Amino acid sequence: MSALLAAGAALAASLITGILTWLAGRSQLKQQSLDQQKARIEQLRRDTYARCGEHLMAYLAQLNNWTVLGWNAGEEDLRDVRRGATELRREGLSCTAAVSLVGPLAMVERFQDAHNRLLSVERKLVRALTIPRPTDEPSDLKFGYLDTYGTDRALEAFFGEARATLGFSEIDEPAP
């Protein structure tokens, strides 16, 4: 009888040990899953912020190209400007949606502010390019639109917020 009790106790101890091992493994797998999910979200944020930052810089470069083009633009140039403006607006909407999905709200607001300022500059430039040039005006459009609308400050705010959200400081930036 005592052998039966000893065997039962050993079986119960083995069962308890097995259950505890299973629970510990399950807990570890759950933690690994959560860590992987956080890493994927972080990578998605990085990719989204990078893509949207590239969009803002491409938008800025395009606006600078249009100011150089100035009133010397021909019909084909104006069609290219309008087509480029449409593509930039479409990409801007896509970036706005992407930033809205990965957040946080401060990032969304910074991106929208920078994009809206660039959009205001674009509207002025497209309008200026499509009206007939007065004869006494210079042949390029360097009116300082970018400074007037505060686009530099808005872009700096977006990139600063992106660095802060991703946990980078000014020191973490690579040297040029």
Would you state the pLDDT for residue 169? Answer: 63
Euclidean distance between CA atoms 117 and 60, whole angstroms: 10
What are the CA-CA distances from residue 18 to residues 13, 14, 22, 78, 108 (Å)? 9, 6, 6, 75, 49
Would you state the pLDDT for residue 175? Answer: 45
Would you state the pLDDT for residue 98? Answer: 92
Would you state the pLDDT for residue 159? Answer: 83
List per-block mean pLDDT (blocks of 10 residues) for the chain, which spans 176 residues. Answer: 77 83 82 89 89 87 75 72 83 90 87 87 75 56 59 79 76 47
Q: Which alpha helices (DSSP H) does the chain contain, by range?
A: 2-69, 75-102, 105-130, 145-148, 151-166
User: Has this prediction a pTM greater than 0.85?
Assistant: no
- CB contact at 8 A, 88 and 58: yes
Would you state the pLDDT for residue 174? Answer: 47
∠ at Cα 166 (162, 172), nearest 5°? 95
Domain spans, the chain: 38-167
